[in-house]
Structure 1
Amino acid sequence: MPFVSKPPSQEQGWPKRGLATEILDHIAKYLSRDDMKALRLTSWELENHFSARLLHTVVVPFNTEIYGMIHEANSVVGHAIDVFKGFGPHIERFGMAFEIDPDSLMHPPEKHTVNRCKSYWGEYDWPVSEYKRFDAVAGLESAADETPKMKTAFSYFTKVKELALSIDSSLGWLNGPDVSLRSRINRQPPSVFGQSHLISDRKTQAQQQLWKYLQFCEMDKGSKGVLFTCLDDPDSPVLGLSVIPNRLSAAQLEWLLETEWAQRAFLMTYMVAVVDNPMAFQHVHTLNIARLSSRYLPLIDREDFWSALPQLHTVTLMVIADWRTVTKDAAGYVSTHSVNPRQAADAFHSLLTETIAEITSIKDLRIGWASGGEHAEGLHGRNQHVLPCPLIVNNAWFSRERSTPEHQRYLDALMPEFPHVENLTLINCWMTPYSVLSMVAKHRTASLKKLTFDSVSLTTAPLPEGNRHPVIPPLNPNPPYLGPFRDGSWPTILDVISPGKTLDDFNTPSSADRAILDSSNLEAISLISCGYTRVILEPWDQSALNFTPRPGSLGSASDEQYFEKKRSALSMYMMQPDRHVGAVTGARHPLFASIVPNIPRDEHIALEVAWEAEMGWADREKSFAATFDGCLPGGTGRFSAEINRKDRERIGQEGEDENPFVRVTIPLVPEREPSFSSSSEDDSRDEHDDEDERDDEDEHDQANGEVPENERGRFGHGQGEFLPPALFPHLY
């Protein structure tokens, strides 16, 4: 009897609508984007749910892939429009990125700049009469000029609530060969919306596994393998590289120039498409400009663009300062010239003060620089090239005039005000001590409720008028961690601007005016990886920030020697910031600053006790990455803290006798210098003797601005906790 199959019953297989939407959303939190793509193929129910979730956030790269799609047959072009028509109503977060691929810059396509001519005496090559374009980039510019197509695509959006944009012209700082092996393996594209998934995608996981495997093999000295090398001359590895930042080839310069043309066309078309689709973007409340070259800042300074987003509440603006410009003369010759980063700061300041500050709907504003600082990469990039806060770009902030009352009143008038912003975040910049005080005072009666300093560094305070050195205060009978502290230091600044606890709550010298603080609308201050920086400015005495790492803090002697040789070898190929001359002081690159990876011990204690600050970075892997760039572990000499008004209110409710924070000051007055190392009461006498023997060394280190040995663990280095891997010298 032949077998007859029976149709499956309705009860078999996946239970229809058996899982609630909330459970599926919770499951999706622990899945990568690749896993969700695979899971949607298992059933129609999961396909419907995860497809909508995948379309929740969409980032479209405007690159050669789009060029290839647009210049196919007409059916493909129509299909591209159908993609927006079919999926546009499901998109809630839409971003576009137009960035130069490093591989494209490394190997630009060939360009035929000569024509083959024939004559009666033979064939010969003759230069073309007009400038020859790269076909790929010319196609991108043509696609960017298609304003009607972009307007049509945007018209299908109905639920978009967040917009994002990332445009990098690669005319800023270029790392070139200054990239560690770890960075090459773990290279990731720039984030547009931030990390939207808790779980990394498969490519990132594979990169992390490869890096861990290399570390394991390096630790296993007995492991065997095959060393693959190229046939190039090993004595000149840098000269064989395709991208040398200060010696770009003619083809690379032309590629950058033509890409800039295409990016300008794209940005202008993007602005027009947003303006001409008011119904599609009427619900947008967040605009995240993750990366934008400073040369494009004037293009987004359009009143009609900002008016097209009436519900805009949150704005993030991260700018990449340009280091060079590429131009073409009448003969078609392309050349490059250095650009003063001051131009980027001026354009940034103009956009903030003249346009964004006037928009009443913006309540959350995040501004800063997307290049340089402690999160940059490379021996010549990390902890370098920090630019000032875009709010203090006027010449008066960097002039030779001293801190006279008249000059301070003039600076107060120059400080911009954001009367409608409630949450202000400053990212990756440096500020003078008085600029912080002036900014907080300017917004005392405004709408500002929370101020966040994210990777913000303080400089020293200017000298008094007449180039006189500050008057040396009398000898302080109290321990140094009870104050008074250096003028312009973080404890003195936080003591004045803190809406919560102040130094006065700990019976230490305080400059806080409680009446002014209580009348301020500021409720909270958040500090994320803040510290100090040195600026190349003649008027300032920055000897208080002198710091030399202890020998061995960067690893073994061979590690330090390796980094020094590598830094010296790469210096002749990197972009030189000393070509930028300051118009005010005449000093070289006056706006650039370098991070000082150190906080004096007395300030360290005060920050921990008064504001419960935490030193270093919580992300160990991210902190460890800095050691491969020849630096101390990331977060060294940096602190994070949360200051809230409710902490002050709690002290007032408990009363002075019941104040638990006052009692903290009792163990901070020991007969000997305090140690952060935890020890029990039954420690051996030999351990105490060893600590006493190290006191003299610690006092010498403290005088030189170094971290004593018994405190290095809390600063993010020492005790073998964050030291560079001496076991991995070849992985650098």
Structure 2
Amino acid sequence: MELQHSSTSDGPGWPSARVPAEVFWVIASYLPDRKDVGAMRLVNREFNTKVIGYFMKQLVISFGPEQSMKFAKDAGLSSMSSAFDMAESVMKTYLFRSFASHIQHLGLALKLGESELASPDVHDFEEIEIRNGKAYRRFVSPVKPRTQPETPLEKVLTALENFQGVFRLLSAATNVQELALSCAGGLGYLQGPDVNPLQPPGRLPIFSKQNAVQMTEDTSIQIMYDKPYKLEVMERKLAAAGIEPADIQGKIAKLLEFEGMTLKELTYERRARAPLPLSRFQGKVTRPRAFNHKFRLQPDQLTVSQMWYINQHLTAENALVQSFILTMLDNSTAFTNLTKLNLARIPSFHLDSLCRDDFWDSLPQVKDVALGVIPDWRSVQPEGPYVMSARQVYPTDAIPKVFELLEKYIGKRPNIERLHFEWHCGGELAAGLAHRDCHILPAPFIKQHRMVIDSRQENLLILPYITHLSLKNCWFAPNVFYRVMDAMSEHGLESLELETVSLSGPPILRDTMRDADPNVFQVDVPANHGNSGEPAYSIRAGHFLSWSAILDALAPVQTISDAIYNLINPSSNFRIKKGYKIQRLVFKSCGYVTVPDERFISSRRFDHPRRSRDESGADLRPLLQKNEKKLRAMEQFLQVSTDRHLAQIAHLIDPAEEAAMKRVYGFQTGWDGVYDEATINAAKRDGALFPGLGRYSGTIERVPDVVAEDDDEQLDYKIFTLPFEQGYDDTVGLNILLGNLERSYMYLHHG
């Protein structure tokens, strides 16, 4: 349709004030990217005014020090001001006042950036004093008032502890449909020098499912520094004291001469390895120290200043979480349109704060919950006014916290019908040579989190009210996965979406079981079978507790076993009975993992050599060697974990299973058409030479006319898991296993 000008128009051009804002928003909703919507704003003033309302439908407010101080500067506030409240300032803007009622998706975020942690802006215990033109260092007691102004992080903390800003901001968004919270501190895995320029560390999307990858390299990332951090701090203090830039180095030289120190001694920062977890050793068992002063952020060797900064950031995160919770409690009636709570990223350290009946009771209209958890890798603890220490934590110790939140608070509420869960730790989509494809945690569906193959009912998380379940970046023992989904399907689970979800090898009780797979049925179909014109092919049944065997029991369509039986007996119409309510199964890059603890999990299906040539025949060993050399240069500074249940992607799949999955379910393997080119390139940059190798994707959806639920002639089918429901002793061989893991990472045992 062509827009017509009125007779009062001054001439050709845009017909001003003729098109309502809603039309602009409909057009914007069809554009593929927010950048394209931004381009719409550049057409003219009316486009800008009306399209900006579309932008305001989704709003994320970051409370980080860098973002807050930039906002304060733009607002004309002095950098010395301690009364800056990000939430209050946002509310005073024209945009918020004009479009608050249009906001449908509102997120609050506080992330500790790695560049921020590398050069932490914290108060130390010394000040620079200028007397008679000379610089002197003066000790400052932590119990006495400081003359130094608040740091940006302290200003953020002061504002968040006030609570009122967040309360008023959330309360003003009266039409919000989704509230999101994202906190990311320094207790989780840190990349340090292991940076991928195509997937750089930084602010991550909250509402988008896309990963923070890009087609071009980020050349602004700095991981090596020529100047020691303490020297940089001293130069800033001298500048703040009024010393001219040209005179600073001379003042430092005089200070060194007066104190009888070298520059290396003056700028030395003590680093310490985080000892193994207290649950393993009461004493401090560590790896040997490593030295490279150019790496400021060494994740396994933090400085005291960095540990203090993490501790302060944790306090700010807690203030944001508490403000979020208290707003829901005190003003829940304001959120009548709220249907989704998106806890996009939250450290396991803060999960206890969410275990409150009154909080979840205040959200009776919420039907959809998303929970993304960052498992702690360390704890930090002040040991006095001057000392801070760190201790390792097993990442999988986060599982009981998530289990409690899901079982006792989220899962028991009939109004919550949709649930998404993911771990923000490792996996196929994680960045870094040392982190990608590794460090994958078990799904939090087991109560005793070390009993990973115990599929007794009392050890499993069953969510009876969930009709749509979405899981990402986790693994299951296959018998546990089957028993959980079998039970939830009987309760009412209708849809299951899995992204980068894996099964381990089959469970095994070695005292009573052989570590071998029995033969399974296979049918060799000749060419032109049934006048189909097809070439010859084979189809084989799945091994015990493989993906294909489990899908025989869960898939609401004709399965692999159905197809085999009907090929053997063409006159039959055999089908496994589908009495479940589950209608749809979506798989995105799913497959298998290997687990360090092989006492109760067999690795027999993954004993294959690594592929060393690509499909063109090119030798990949030089690239593998290059990546290994790069990793060796920095791995001694990176975090490692001896957690026996952190799994690694097995980029292997049984060719017969792959062929059967493709033929019966239409699944594909690999990432082509599954993830975009940027994601694939980022994975290759981290040494994943064949992204998606051994991983399959596809959708299985029930067709009512093909599979009838009430067909009495169908065969009931249950997988026999009883041997793994009798309990077992997880301590057998445990010390040997842990000792081997610790020695592989060069931990020094004493005694």
TM-score of the two chains, using structure 1 as the length reference: 0.74
Give distance in 1, aligned partners of 2:502 and 2:108.
32
Report the equivalent of 1:225: none
Other structure's SS at 1:145 match: helix
Alignment of 1:212-227 (within 5 A): none
8 Å CA contact 1:287, 1:315 repeated in 2: yes
Question: Are residues 152 and 336 of structure 1, via their aligned partners in 2, closer, same or farther at CA, if it must alter by over 3 Å?
Answer: same
Look up the match of 1:101: 113
Amino acid paired to 1:96: L
Aligned to 1:428: 473
The one-character-per-residue Cα deviations of 1:92-126 (angstroms, maximum 9, x if unpaired) are 1100110012221121126341257999xx97733
Please tell me the residue identity of whatever aligns with 2:367: H
- Check the 8 A contact 2:329/2:362 in 1, yes or no: yes
Q: State yes or no: 1:456 paired with 2:516.
A: no
Partner of residue 26, structure 2: 25
**Cα separation, 2, equivalents of 1:155 and 1:630:** 47
Task: Tell me how far 1:289 sits from its aligned partner.
Answer: 1.5
CA distance in 1: counterparts of 2:346 and 2:293, whole angstroms: 31
For the residues of structure 2 that align with 1:528 and 1:157, how far apart are their CA atoms? 35
Task: Give the distance between the partners of 2:457 and 2:118, measured in 1 at CA.
Answer: 47
The one-letter amino acid of 1:278's match is S
Instruction: Give 1:163 deviation, angstroms.
Output: 0.8
Moved over 6 A (4+): 73-78, 116-119, 131-134, 229-233, 513-516
Structure 1 position 500 matched with structure 2 position 510: no
5 Å-filtered alignment, 1:551-566, equals 551-553=612-614, 556-566=620-630
- Asked if 1:521 corresponds to 2:581, the answer is yes
In structure 1, distance between residues paired with 2:678 and 2:83: 49
Measure how far apart 1:474 and its partner are: 5.5
Alpha carbons of 1:55 and 1:322: their partners in 2 closer, same or farther (altered >3 Å)? same
For the 8 Å contact 2:60–2:106, the answer to whether it is kept is: yes
Preserved contact between residue 475 and residue 501 of structure 2 (Cα < 8 Å): yes
> Residue 392 of structure 1: CA displacement?
2.0
> Using the alignment, how far apart are the partners of 1:189 and 1:110 within structure 2?
22
Pick from 379, 389, 400 the counterpart of residue 325 of structure 1.
379
Structure 1 CA distance for aligned equivalents of residues 522 and 38 of structure 2? 67
Matched, 1:89 2:101: yes
How many Å separate the matches in 1 of 2:85 and 2:477?
A: 56
2:194·2:433 contact (CA, 8 Å) conserved in 1?
yes
**Secondary structure of 2:331's aligned partner:** coil
Q: Shift in Å at residue 35 of structure 1?
A: 5.3
User: Of 408, 419, 424, which residue of structure 2 is paired with 1:370?
Assistant: 424
2:307 and 2:380 in contact (8 A); partners too? yes
* Shift in Å, 1:396: 7.0
User: Equivalent residue for 2:395?
Assistant: 341
Instruction: Report the AA paired with residue 103 of structure 2.
Output: I
- The 5-angstrom pairing of residues 184-583 of structure 1 reads 184=200, 189-194=203-208, 208=215, 239-395=293-449, 397-398=451-452, 411-464=456-509, 466-470=511-515, 473=518, 478=523, 481-508=538-565, 517-537=577-597, 538-553=599-614, 556-578=620-642
Secondary structure at the aligned position of 1:182 is classed as: coil
Question: Between Structure 1 and Structure 2, how many residues are aligned?
Answer: 598
Look up the SS of the partner of 1:436 in the other structure: helix
User: Which segment drifts farther, 254-263 or 441-450?
Assistant: 441-450
SS of the counterpart of 1:435?
helix
Alignment of 1:628-667 (within 5 A): 628-646=685-703, 649-650=705-706
Change (3 A) 1:373 1:393: farther
Q: Retained in 1: the 8 A contact 2:566–2:574?
A: no
Taking the aligned partners of 1:109 and 1:549, their CA distance within structure 2 comes to: 45
Kindly indicate whether residue 201 of structure 2 is the aligned counterpart of residue 166 of structure 1: no
Mapping for residues 56-75 of structure 1, pairs under 5 Å: 56-64=57-65, 65-66=67-68, 69=72, 72=81
Deviation at 1:130, TM superposition (A): 2.7
Q: TM-score, normalised by structure 2?
A: 0.72
In 2, Cα distance between equivalents of 1:509 and 1:345: 43
What is the percent sequence identity of the aligned residues? 24
Indicate the SS of the match to 2:369. Answer: strand
Match of 1:693 in 2: none
Q: Which residue of 1 aligns with 2:14?
A: 14
Could you tell me which residue of structure 2 aligns to residue 126 of structure 1? Answer: 139
Offset of 1:445 from its aligned partner? 2.7
Q: 1:515 to 1:443 in 2, by over 3 A?
A: farther
> Which residue of structure 1 lines up, in the alignment, with residue 163 of structure 2?
147
Give the aligned residue type for 2:175. Answer: K
1:599: which partner in 2? 653
Stretch of structure 1 that moved more, 500-509 or 171-180: 500-509
**Distance in 1 of aligned mates of 2:565 and 2:375:** 42
* Alpha carbons 2:589, 2:670 under 8 Å: kept: yes
The alpha carbon displacement at 1:304 in A equals 2.2
**Unpaired runs of at least 5, structure 1:** 1-6, 214-228, 400-406, 579-588, 656-732
Letter in 2 for 1:491: S
* Shift of residue 337, structure 1, vs aligned partner: 0.5
What SS does the corresponding residue of 2:489 show, helix, strand or coil? coil
Of residues 436-445 and 610-619 in structure 1, the stretch that sits farther from structure 2 once superposed is 436-445
Say whether the 8 Å CA contact 2:340–2:366 is kept in structure 1.
yes
Distance 1:110 1:23, change over 3 A: closer
* 8 Å contact from structure 2 (residues 541, 548) kept in 1: no
Structure 1, residues 282-314: CA drift from partner, whole Å, max 9, x if none?
210111111111111111222222222221111
Task: Report the CA distance between 1:148 and its aligned residue.
Answer: 2.2
CA shift for structure 1 position 79: 5.5
User: 2: distance between equivalents of 1:191 and 1:75?
Assistant: 25
Q: Distance in 2 between matches of 1:117 and 1:248?
A: 28
Q: Secondary structure at the match of 2:588?
A: strand
The one-character-per-residue Cα deviations of 1:231-253 (angstroms, maximum 9, x if unpaired) are 799xx995412111111111111
CA contact (8 A) 2:396 2:449 kept: no
Q: Which amino acid aligns with 1:592?
A: L
Kindly tell me: are residues 450 and 623 of structure 1, through their superposed partners in 2, closer, same or farther at Cα, counting changes over 3 Å?
same
After superposition, the CA RMSD in angstroms is 3.7
Could you say what secondary structure the match of 1:326 adopts?
strand
Contact 1:481 1:603 in 2 (8 A): no
Letter in 1 for 2:159: A
SS in 2 for 1:189: coil
CA distance in 2 between partners of 1:73 and 1:572 (Å): 40
Alignment CA distance shift 1:433-1:650 (3 Å): same
